[in-house]
Structure 1
């Protein structure tokens, strides 16, 4: 079956959403329950501007969703598939952790 370049480009955009330490910290932070920006900032020890930029990226990629309630915005994972994917990263990492830890070719 032939893959179209556009499919790969879209897939790479999705993977890019997971390829940043701060974004992964945010995703782990909201993996089990929705949280406000303030809660995410506190738990990740980030700053408002940086966290907001990463939340916008994750939301723009469709990885997370936001819900307004009063003056607060609550963020959560888009669905169970995203939660499963995050868990699968951990499962795969158990198998390849030593190799990944030694790999210095893909550090940004």
Structure 2
């Protein structure tokens, strides 16, 4: 495998490597939302949520749609939604191992 391919995968996977980003993805998985709606749903702060949205957008996982003064964010496509569902299915099988992992960086 080419080094560029590994680097690209790592950048892509970075989008999934933070609790807040996973929460955002789950929040907008089925329905687009504005930043303020996401902030309300996650009970977070706007600055932090906006930074994570920028990361998710940069990783290619979400897209934004301008409508007047609001930007509506949604998961990029069905493939990303399917990937989030696949994570849940795989985690059902391996969750005990993950929970017991002493190498986990949290």
TM range (shorter): over 0.9
Q: Counterpart of 1:73 in 2: which secondary structure?
A: strand
Q: Which runs of 5 or more residues in structure 1 are unaligned?
A: none
Residue in 2 that maps onto 1:10:
8
- The superposition leaves residues 74-103 of structure 1 with CA deviations (integer Å, 9 ceiling, x where unpaired) of 000010000000000000000001000111
Residue in 1 that maps onto 2:49:
51
* CA–CA separation in structure 2 for the residues paired with 1:8 and 1:65: 23
TM-score when normalising by structure 1: 0.95
Q: 4+ residue runs of structure 1 moved beyond 6 angstroms?
A: none
Residue in 2 that maps onto 1:74:
72
Alignment of 1:1-108 (within 5 A): 3-108=1-106
Structure 1 residue 105: deviation in Å?
Answer: 1.1
Across the aligned residues of Structure 1 and Structure 2, the Cα RMSD in angstroms comes to 0.8
Aligned length: 106
Q: Which runs of 5 or more residues in structure 2 are unaligned?
A: none
* CA–CA separation in structure 1 for the residues paired with 2:15 and 2:104: 16
